[in-house]
A and B are shown apart, each in its own frame.
Chain A
Amino acid sequence: MSGEEEENAAELKIGDEFLKAKCLMNCEVSLILDHKYEQLRHMSEDPLNQVSQVFEKSLQYVKRFSRYKNPDAVRQVREILSRYQLTEFELCVLGNLCPETVEEAIAMVPSMKSC
């Protein structure tokens, strides 16, 4: 199993690549992949033939589990969450899971306890 340095998202021990990378919420990925799929649909009669299984499964996943469909709402979610001192990873987890209370948020993202 992976975990050379005991990776644990709950403590934000997620490796340098995640700390440097731009994390994306499911709703953002849904808009991006959907747009790409539409482009392929215009170019080909059978767009599913043009995309990999990874793309197809990812698209199905993010379309099903996106909390926000409206592009303006998606933008607003990131904008509002960016006002707080959260890492990219914490921001995206909150945007994906949409906790209803503070206690729920801390249970889902324990690293926020220090915020």
Chain B
Amino acid sequence: MFSEVELLRTVIMLQKNLGQDKLASQRCIVTQLLRRLSMEKASEHEGYFLNVTGLKRIGKGQAIGRSGYTFFPVKFTCRTFMPVPGETLQGVVYRVCRTGAFMSCGPVNVVFLSTLKMPGYHYVAGEEPFFLGSDLSKIETGVVVQFVVLAVRWIENVYGRKELQMLASILGDNLGPISLCEW
């Protein structure tokens, strides 16, 4: 789900980088905040950060001893994408394997639909494998699938990879591959 949320972040500034007047300082702090968010990309509880929509408040700076650094608490609004278990979403299949299908959904690159959660479909091997349903519908590369989110996982590893991954299911009504003409 896309939403607009209020977030709080601490921005660390070198005192010498702060401008002479309040406006210049504010500009430096906002620039640093945007830089930080663009590096952060996403967080476990807030999802993916799309864009900052408004600045609510820059709190009072707190200097850290004689280090030359100052902390500023910044409250702002931001558009985010955060999938929620139980939510119905659409994804595009980009890889099919024996155990299931991988889809992308917005900024989420890994949405896994297991064979256990696609009843009535069986795997058809070949150069371009696909899943064939009992109603002759296909789940193959490029197909749009309407699914329900089973679970969401946050991945953060030592290589700097930070992302959300989802487990999907098409068990239920109105779920499964969607005909192209509808979209």
Contacts and interface: CB of A to CB of B under 8 A. Distances in A.
B120 interface: no
Main secondary structure of the interface of B (DSSP, over half): strand
A18 B90 contact: no
A54 B79 contact: no
A24 B174 contact: no
Contact of B45 (A17, A25, A52, A58): A17
A48 interface: no
B118 interface: no
Nearest to A108: B88
Interface in A55-70: 55, 57-58, 61-62, 64-65
A78 B48 CA distance: 24
Q: Contact residue range for chain A?
A: 35 or more
A21 B3 CA distance: 6
A103 to B, nearest CB: 8
Interface in B127-183: 146, 149, 151-154, 167, 172-174, 183
Contact of A9 (B46, B85, B173): B85
B50 A53 contact: no
Interface string B89-107: 0100000000000001111
Query: Which of B42, B44, B107 has the most chain A CB within a 10 Å cutoff?
Result: B107
B27 interface: no
A24 B6 CA distance: 14
A8 B85 contact: yes
Contact of A92 (B1, B174, B183): B1
Nearest to B91: A61
Contacts of B149: 9
Contact of B84 (A14, A22, A52, A108): A14
Interface of B: 1-6, 38, 41-42, 44-46, 48-51, 79, 81-82, 84-88, 90, 104-107, 109, 146, 149, 151-154, 167, 172-174, 183
Closest 4 CB pairs of A and B: A9-B86, A61-B106, A10-B86, A1-B151
Given A9-B149, A89-B1, 12 more contacts: A1-B151, A1-B152, A2-B152, A9-B84, A9-B85, A17-B45, A17-B46, A24-B1, A52-B38, A52-B41, A58-B81, A104-B173
15 contacts: A3-B85, A9-B1, A9-B86, A9-B87, A13-B86, A18-B1, A18-B3, A21-B4, A22-B3, A54-B50, A54-B81, A58-B48, A89-B1, A104-B174, A107-B173
